[in-house]
Structure 1
Amino acid sequence: MNPAPTPTSDRLSDYLAADTVVDHGHPAIRALADALRPGDGDPVEAAKTAFLFVRDEVEHVMDAADPRVTWRASDVLRERVGICHAKAHLLAALLRAQGIPAGFCYQELSALHGLNAVYLHGNWSRLDARGNRTGAGGEFSLDVEKLAWPVDPARGERDHPEIHPAPAPVVVDFLMTAQPGPGWYEKGLPRTL
């Protein structure tokens, strides 16, 4: 069983902030967030719709063998492709644009894997919109974690329960300096925070 998700900040406003990476003030992010918002304004349905969009409509670079590198949420949306971290940046932006607090979580698998946490009904729940094309099993659930990949401690894998208001600097630095091309993600993707 995974440890309970724990926010690193006591201020929910930190999980609604925009920055260079989570640029939810961008017109394309705002327009999509508005389009995904259900008519009744239900935040759970809004979160689920945003999750499904990012999981199913944005390709994971490894699954698609795509040479492009994206890291800013608006760029991920424009290009419709990104590694797990980039997809997490987009999901956070879409949620925050709708006033739903969202943060960033990590797992140490064969490399550092990025996912999100969302705050709804007074609780944090982790969501993993990586994409399910290659055996991953990420599903939207607020009650039971259904992440893309289970952590296997016997293989040295580790789950980080912390919920960060901003993406890890080691991830952002890697993505901002990565050179596009085949297998770019194999050249220095961080293994730990």
Structure 2
Amino acid sequence: MQRYLSASTYIDFDTPDVRAAACRLAEGRASEADVARACFEFVRDEIRHSVDFKLNPVTCKASDVLRHGTGYCYAKSHLLAALLRANGIPAGLCYQRLSVGTEGAPYCLHGLNAVYLKDFGWYRIDARGNKPGIDARFDPPRERLAFPVREREERMLPEIWAEPLPVVVETLARYGTWDQVLANLPDVELLD
């Protein structure tokens, strides 16, 4: 579990601002699940999704997401992992492969998290941000994610990564504006 509790370049909860935010979110919470819920709801509701709000800069590191109050789903998942890990709760990164439109190609990755809760085991949560048609919630053991998998080429990738996928980091580093990222969303090839 140690790799799901460690600080890193992109999940940088060792920075003072992220650590302070994690402490504030945990304050007065009685249980691990209460702390996880507070962290999830903060990222989902207070950090604005770059596309929904047409916001720059493009962020990747958890500390930058917190500082600027915005990020793509991938960056928001980095902040949520950082807040959870700072509170001693194991957290990893998950991805879905989804259609960019309503169906069919092109496809892209969508970033979300898995948190390890003692009472439930690994539990996926999606702090992308709600809006009409999207209603992600923290409701263990039931997963209430932002997007359903609807067709054969879409997939919930089964892995729980301790670090972001390189293709995600490369995309967020390469493009300077939210609309450039939107035009070049990361994807992976399916093996089967």
Q: Tell whether the structures are fold-level matches, with TM greater than 0.5.
A: yes
SS state of the match for residue 140, structure 1? strand
2:172 matched to which residue of 1?
A: 175
Structure 2 counterpart of 1:36, one-letter code: L
TM superposition shift of 1:186: 2.2
TM superposition shift of 1:41: 4.4
2:186 matched to which residue of 1?
A: 190
Matched, 1:166 2:178: no
* 8 Å contact from structure 2 (residues 77, 113) kept in 1: yes
* TM superposition score normalised by structure 1: 0.89
TM superposition shift of 1:34: 0.5
Q: Which moved more, 1:157-166 or 1:74-83?
A: 157-166
Matched, 1:101 2:90: yes
Structure 1 runs of 4+ aligned residues shifted over 4 Å read none
Q: Alignment length, in residue pairs?
A: 180
Structure 2 counterpart of 1:191, one-letter code: D
* TM superposition score normalised by structure 2: 0.89
> Which 5+ residue runs of structure 1 have no aligned equivalent?
1-11
* 8 Å contact from structure 2 (residues 63, 79) kept in 1: yes
Q: Deviations over 1:118-165 (max 9, x none)?
A: 0011500000000012421210122111000101125x2111121111
Among 148, 154, 164, the alignment partner of 1:157 is 154
Q: Deviations over 1:24-58 (max 9, x none)?
A: 01100010111010425411100000000000000
* 8 Å contact from structure 1 (residues 63, 134) kept in 2: no
SS state of the match for residue 112, structure 2? strand
Structure 2 counterpart of 1:188, one-letter code: N
The RMSD of aligned alpha carbons is 1.4
* 8 Å contact from structure 1 (residues 67, 183) kept in 2: no
> Which 5+ residue runs of structure 2 have no aligned equivalent?
100-107
TM superposition shift of 1:17: 0.9
1:93-132 superposed matches below 5 A? 93-110=82-99, 111-121=108-118, 123-132=121-130
Q: Deviations over 1:88-128 (max 9, x none)?
A: 00000000000000000000012100000000115000000
